[in-house]
Chains A and B, each alone.
Chain A
Amino acid sequence: MQMDFSYKVTWLHKINPSLKFIIIIILFIHLLMIHNINFIINYMLGMTILYLFFTGHPWKRLLIISIPFILIFLTSSTSMIFFGKGEITWIKWGLVHITEESFFRGLHLGFRGIIFATLGIIFALTTRPVYLFYSLMQQLKLKPKYAYSFMAAVRLIPIMIEETQTLHYALKVRGVQNHKGFVGFYKKLKSYSIPMLSQSIRKAYRIAIAMEAKRFSDTVNRTYYYQLGFSKFDMIFMFYFVIMILVSYYAAINHPYFSILDVRDNG
Chain B
Amino acid sequence: MKKGLKLTDILVTIIIALLFGIIYKLWGPLYGVVSTFGLQIEQLIYGMWFIAAIVAYLIIRKPGVALLAEVAAAQGEFIFGGEWGVVTLVFGLGQGLAAELIFAAFRYKRSDMFIACLAGVASAFASIGIDYYYGYVADLAIWNLLIMFGARVIGAILISGIFAYLIVQALEKTGVTNLVRPASSEDYKALN
Q: From A71, A211, A216, A263, give the contact of B83 (CB < 8 A).
A: A71
- Whether the pair B14, A197 counts as a contact (CB closer than 8 A) is no
Counting contact residues on chain B (CB < 8 A from A), the size range is 35 or more
Q: Are A78 and B35 in contact (CB under 8 A)?
A: yes
Closest B residue to A82 using CB positions: B38
Q: Which residues of A (24-77) have their CB < 8 Å from a CB of B?
A: 24-25, 28, 32, 65, 68-69, 71-72, 74-76
Q: Is the CB of A116 within 8 A of B86?
A: yes
Indicate with 1 or 0, residue by residue over B1-13, a CB within 8 angstroms of chain A CB atoms: 0000101101110
Specify the main secondary structure of chain B where it touches its partner: helix
Q: Is the CB of A74 within 8 A of B139?
A: no
Given contacts A121-B81, A152-B11, A203-B15, contact A32 B140 (CB under 8 A): no
The stretch of A124-132, A176-184, A220-228, A229-237 in contact with B is A124-132
Instruction: Report how far A190 CA is from B68 CA in the complex, Å.
Output: 25
B residues in contact with A156, CB < 8 Å? 15, 18
| A side interface size, CB within 8 A | 72
Q: Which residues of A contact B (CB under 8 A)?
A: 1, 24-25, 28, 32, 65, 68-69, 71-72, 74-76, 78-85, 95, 97, 102, 105, 109, 113, 116-121, 123-125, 127, 129, 132, 145-146, 149-150, 152-154, 156-157, 160, 190, 193-198, 200-205, 207-209, 211-212, 216, 218, 263-265
CB pairs A–B below 8 angstroms (25 shown): A1-B81, A25-B86, A28-B85, A68-B32, A71-B32, A72-B28, A72-B84, A74-B35, A75-B36, A80-B140, A102-B139, A120-B86, A124-B81, A149-B7, A149-B14, A156-B18, A194-B170, A194-B171, A195-B174, A201-B59, A201-B180, A205-B12, A207-B11, A212-B7, A218-B7
